[in-house]
Amino acid sequence: MTMDSFTLDETEEAEVRHISSRSRFADVPVHIALLFIGLAIATPIIIAFFMSFTPLREIVGRANPSVIPDTWTFANYEKAWNATPFGRFVLNSFIQTGVITAAQVFFSILAGYAFAMFEFRGKNALFVLVIGSLIVPFELTFIPNFLLISDLGWANTYAGLTVPFLASAFGVFMMRQFFMSLPRDLYDAAKIDGAGDWKYLWAVMAPLSKGAISAFTIFSFLSAWNQYLWPLIITNDESMRTAQIGIRFFLVNQERATDWGAIMAGAVIVMIPTLIVFIVAQKQLVKGIAASGLKG
Amino acid sequence: MTTTVESPAKKRRPRDGWRPSLKAYAYLIPTFIILFVFVYFPIIESFRLSLKRVAPFGNQEISVGFENYTRLLSSSDFWDTVKVSVFFMIGTVPIGIGLAVIIAILLSYPLKRLNGLYRTLIFVPVVISSAIGGVLFRLLYNPVVGFFNYWLSLVGIDGPNWLNEQTWAVVAVTITVVWRQLGFNVIIALAGIQNINEQLYEAAKVDGAGVMRRIRSITLPMLSPTLFFLAIVNVIISLQAFGEINILTDGGPGRATTNLVYQVFVDGFVGTKFTGRASAQAFMLAVMIIGISILNFRSLRSRVHYQ
């Protein structure tokens, strides 16, 4: 049940696939098909990127829209950044995402370790509660959570944005699975050496689990950064909006002015952190998703 | 101590009371505080709220029994939102999975180079939020500066006013949801294909089976557990579509794209708040989604056979 048993590595994996017979000539149609499909899928993002550098007069002034601008400009970014407190939105998102990710990773490691290494009363029942919470959809929780957070006076605060998400059942499950795959002898040896659990967890287990921990960190970061419904309902003060909510209101305001260059600049600002993560950690991300799919 | 649950690790069960358990609980407490306060308690609270009506003036709650449910079930507005949810499901699930399988089969072809580039281009929607998906496609659908109608005009088609016509608005949201889900679906389908035993293909090749035959007789049947998993996940995701609708159409035009989730949002958070009615709808939707999820958990057992 470890994630590392699934490799989607393009080089080694590709070598051993034989759905089709191998000849260089036969590769050509596949290349063409994949290039076409790949470009079609990435097109909305590519267009947004180019349009964010296109002057307004070029966007509205042409009969035939062209993807690549004739002249390049940074004006859209200046406008997006200054028209609304975009800097503030991005800062809010980084705080919200940072707190959620750090807490989810830390608490998941702790709980995963407890489920993997300790024997204790009610272990099975508690583990069922963790797994069971995975199938509870947000529709069932967001209204009571909204009322609770509002009653606590946490609407429009970082606490309101983050506290309901400080733990992750998925993270606990993932960490437990990984810790259980590590050899138990290590633990017994450490016990004989007199190392306590806390020390063993951070000095031995955590470094050995770097792959699993970073895969979950990426997951956690992406889902926190991309949250929409919760930040939409729990903030109505402009200064507390996250980037995702900011772009929605920016769109509504700028669309009347048909200032699509500025809107796309805003969109690029909002998605750039996730695109960077995607480029840098694509393999881990893909592996994590593939493992979650194959193993439920 | 007497009622021990059977577990493979029975040998290591604590023999000296609660003390060894306390350390474990210390590791677990942060997770369980959050799970109880923000997942398990709200389930009960959600049901309790669905049996209430908040008086129009003031904050007084009135118990109304199952009135919220009976009223909903006999209102055509409610069934309209159910219909929209079902439309999104029918529109997104087969197309989304079909496309994903075709693309995954192509990606599993043993190319010598450019594999990484194709994967990057195809997987990228996986990191795009529903809000950004909505914004990007709102531009594409725009009748003046958008690209869809311009491209359609190149092949002689006069494109519709996507977001302002009832039928096309449903199509527009469907396309956006399919696009955003595609990266995930391809990754899962590709992993499923790569898990298929190589020898099956070798044997088929020896028997002279062509490419299409091998896809039909080996890839698709062996992929059926993966397809089932994808179907379940995609049904749940299509039922929960919210961000794209909020940004593309705001549930309109009229109520053409108001699905159940959107109606819960409108009833619960926009204008006059009908918390009881919103909760009742949320509860019904959730029961459906949980039912589908349990179906998925049960299917895990059958999928083990293939691995």
Of A222, A260, A270, the CB nearest to B145: A260
Q: Per this entry, what is the length of chain B?
A: 307
pLDDT of the residue at A84: 79
Distance (Å, rounded) from C-alpha A51 to C-alpha A127?
Answer: 49
Q: What is the ipTM of this complex?
A: 0.86
Task: Please report where in the chains the tokens 């702790």 appear, as a residue.
Answer: A110
Instruction: Say if the Cβ atoms of A39 and B144 lie within 8 Å.
Output: no
Q: Which residue has the higher pLDDT, A6 or B168?
A: B168
Residue of A31, A34, A197 to mutate for B, most B C-beta atoms under 10 A = A34
Q: Of chain A residues 138-197, which have a CB less than 8 A from chain B? A: 138-148, 163-167, 169, 172, 197
Residue of B109, B148, B230, B266 to mutate for A, most A C-beta atoms under 10 A = B109
pLDDT of the residue at A4: 40
How far, CA to CA in Å, does B267 sit from each of A2, A276, B262, B271?
43, 38, 9, 8
Range of the domain at B194: 75-306
Helices (H), chain A: 10-15, 24-51, 56-61, 75-83, 86-117, 123-133, 138-151, 158-162, 169-181, 184-192, 197-200, 206-208, 210-225, 229-234, 243-256, 260-280, 282-294
Would you list the DSSP string of chain B? Answer: --SPPP-TTGGG---STTHHHHHHHHHHHHHHHHHIIIIIHHHHHHHHHHTEEE-SSSS-EEE-TTHHHHHHHT-HHHHHHHHHHHHHHHHHHHHHHHHHHHHHHHHTS--SSSHHHHHHHHHGGGG--HHHHHHHHHHHH-TTT-SHHHHHHHTT-----GGGSHHHHHHHHHHHHHHHHHHHHHHHHHHHHHTS-HHHHHHHHHTT--HHHHIIIIIHHHTHHHHHHHHHHHHHHHHT--HHHHHHTTT-STTTT--HHHHHHHHHHSSS--HHHHHHHHHHHHHHHHHHHHHHHHHHHHHGGG-
Q: Which residue has the higher pLDDT, A162 or A20?
A: A162
Whether residue A27 lies inside any domain: the answer is no
Which SS3 state, helix, strand or coil, does residue A193 take?
A: coil
Contact status, residue A172 vs residue B31, Cβ threshold 8 Å: yes
Of B9, B103, B269, the CB nearest to A119: B9
Q: Which residue has the higher pLDDT, B219 or B33?
A: B33
Whether residue B10 lies inside any domain: the answer is no
Whether residue B48 lies inside any domain: the answer is no
Whether the per-residue pLDDT at A64 is higher than 80: the answer is no
Widest distance between CA atoms in chain B = 81
Handedness of CA B62, B65, B71, B72 (dihedral sign): positive
Of A103, A120, A271, the CB nearest to B132: A271
Beta strands B52-54 and B61-63, pairing class: antiparallel
Q: Which residue has the higher pLDDT, A27 or B83?
A: B83
Instruction: Say if the Cβ atoms of B297 and A296 lie within 8 Å.
Output: yes
pLDDT tens figures, A160-188: 999 999 999 999 999 998 898 888 888 88
Q: Which residue has the higher pLDDT, B134 or B65?
A: B134
Range of the domain at A127: 80-294
Tokens for A197?
A: 């659990």
Whether residue A47 lies inside any domain: the answer is no
Number of compact structural domains in chain B: 1
Does B119 touch chain A if contact means CB atoms closer than 8 Å? yes
Chain B residue with CA closest to A60: the answer is B145
Residue B75's pLDDT band (cuts 50, 70, 90): confident
Instruction: Report pTM.
Output: 0.86
Residues of chain A above pLDDT 90, percent: 47
Residues of chain A above pLDDT 70, percent: 88
Contact status, residue A209 vs residue A182, Cβ threshold 8 Å: yes
Distance (Å, rounded) from C-alpha A212 to C-alpha A200?
Answer: 17
pLDDT averaged over every residue in chain A: 85
Distance (Å, rounded) from C-alpha A191 to C-alpha A149?
Answer: 43
pLDDT of the residue at B277: 86
Does B129 touch chain A if contact means CB atoms closer than 8 Å? yes
Does B144 touch chain A if contact means CB atoms closer than 8 Å? yes
pLDDT tens figures, A143-156: 999 999 998 999 99
Helices A86-117 and B19-35, packing angle to 10 deg: 150
Whether residue B52 lies inside any domain: the answer is no
B85-100: average pLDDT: 93
A106-135: average pLDDT: 92
| Buried residues in A180-219 as b, exposed as e (16+ CB within 10 A) | ebbeeeebeebeeeeeebeebbeebbbeebeebbebbbbb
User: Other CB atoms closer than 10 Å to residue B144's CB: what's the count?
Assistant: 11
pLDDT tens figures, A259-289: 888 899 999 999 999 999 999 988 888 888 8
Whether residue B40 lies inside any domain: the answer is no
Contacts of B12 in chain A (CB under 8 A): 119
Whether residue B20 lies inside any domain: the answer is no
Chain B residue with CA closest to A279: the answer is B120
B216-221: average pLDDT: 83
Contacts of B144 in chain A (CB under 8 A): 60, 258
Distance (Å, rounded) from C-alpha A36 to C-alpha B121?
Answer: 10
pLDDT of the residue at A291: 74
Contact status, residue B283 vs residue B300, Cβ threshold 8 Å: no
Q: Which residue has the higher pLDDT, B307 or A216?
A: A216
Distance (Å, rounded) from C-alpha A234 to C-alpha A15?
Answer: 50
pLDDT of the residue at B140: 92
Q: Of chain A residues 240-269, which have a CB less than 8 A from chain B? A: 244-245, 247-248, 251, 255, 258, 260, 263-264, 266-267
How far, CA to CA in Å, does A171 sit from each of A111, A262, B32?
9, 37, 13
Whether the per-residue pLDDT at B6 is higher than 50: the answer is no
Which SS3 state, helix, strand or coil, does residue A107 take?
A: helix
Contacts of B219 in chain A (CB under 8 A): 19
Whether residue B187 lies inside any domain: the answer is yes
A45-61: average pLDDT: 86
Whether residue A191 lies inside any domain: the answer is yes
pLDDT of the residue at B58: 57
Number of compact structural domains in chain A: 1
pLDDT averaged over every residue in chain B: 84
pLDDT tens figures, A72-111: 888 889 888 887 788 899 999 999 999 999 999 999 999 9
Whether the per-residue pLDDT at B77 is higher than 50: the answer is yes
Whether residue B7 lies inside any domain: the answer is no
pLDDT of the residue at B55: 65
Whether the per-residue pLDDT at A11 is higher than 60: the answer is no
Whether the per-residue pLDDT at A3 is higher than 80: the answer is no
Does B243 touch chain A if contact means CB atoms closer than 8 Å? yes
Distance (Å, rounded) from C-alpha A13 to C-alpha B108?
Answer: 9
Whether residue A112 lies inside any domain: the answer is yes
Distance (Å, rounded) from C-alpha A257 to C-alpha A255?
Answer: 5
The alpha-carbon radius of gyration of chain B (Å, integer) is 25
Sequence-distant (6+) residues with CB within 8 A of A56 are A75, A76, A259, A261, A262
For the purposes of burial, counting CB atoms within 10 Å of the CB of B41, is it exposed (0-12), middle (13-18) or buried (19 or more)?
middle
Contact status, residue B104 vs residue A13, Cβ threshold 8 Å: no
Provide the shortest C-alpha distance from residue B25 to chain A (in Å).
Answer: 8
Query: Comparing C-alpha atoms, which of B237, B236, B234 is closest to residue B226?
Result: B234
Residue A296's pLDDT band (cuts 50, 70, 90): very low
Distance (Å, rounded) from C-alpha A154 to C-alpha A156?
Answer: 6
Q: Chains A, B: CB contacts under 8 A, how many?
A: 344
Whether residue A25 lies inside any domain: the answer is no
Whether residue B299 lies inside any domain: the answer is yes
Contacts of A142 in chain B (CB under 8 A): 42, 282
Residue A199's pLDDT band (cuts 50, 70, 90): confident
Instruction: Say if the Cβ atoms of B122 and A260 lie within 8 Å.
Output: no
A253: domain CATH number is 1.10.3720.10
pLDDT of the residue at A55: 84
Q: Which residue has the higher pLDDT, A71 or B27?
A: B27
Highest mean pLDDT among A19-28, A98-107, B160-169, B243-252: A98-107
Whether residue A174 lies inside any domain: the answer is yes
Q: Which residue has the higher pLDDT, A166 or A204?
A: A166
B101: domain CATH number is 1.10.3720.10
Contact status, residue A264 vs residue A48, Cβ threshold 8 Å: yes
Whether residue A88 lies inside any domain: the answer is yes
Q: Of chain B residues 62-91, which have a CB less than 8 A from chain A? A: none
Whether residue A53 lies inside any domain: the answer is no
Contacts of A35 in chain B (CB under 8 A): 114, 118
pLDDT of the residue at B306: 42
HSE, CB side, 13 Å, CA atoms: give it for residue B50. Answer: 24
